[in-house]
Amino acid sequence: MDEVGGEQRNEREPVRGENPLGEIAQLLVENPWMNQALHLAFGVRERASEAGTAVIRNLNLPTGNDVDRLARRVRGLSERLEELEDAVDRLGREIAELRRERESSPPRASSQG
């Protein structure tokens, strides 16, 4: 007996009602009419999706794929822009450092004169 007071169950033993559902699912998968109905339904779904995409394109509206592609491009541009901003910041710091060094060093005697 387990802690709940029931009988100890074998882990491989199916839960009550699991076998009948599995058998029904197997019968449906093996049924040629059901198989044909599923293929037909998926085909109709695909054609409807293609028709919807065509309508959206004819209305000059972006499709979901168009929006996803645009979002990826914007993310790529954003990353590149951040890299450029970082490079400009580095250059600004280097220029400021060079100016400080030039201002703190004693003036050189000019050989032209």
- Give pLDDT tens digits along the chain (113 positions): 444 555 555 555 555 657 888 888 888 888 889 889 888 999 999 999 999 989 998 999 998 899 999 999 999 999 999 999 999 999 999 999 999 999 998 776 666 65
Q: Tell me phi and psi for residue 24, to 5 degrees.
A: -65, -45
- Residue 45 has a pLDDT of 92
Asked if 30 and 23 count as a contact pair (C-beta separation under 8 A), the reply is no
> What's the predicted TM-score (pTM) here?
0.47
> How far is it, in rounded angstroms, from Cα 91 to Cα 97?
10
> How far is it, in rounded angstroms, from Cα 48 to Cα 40?
12
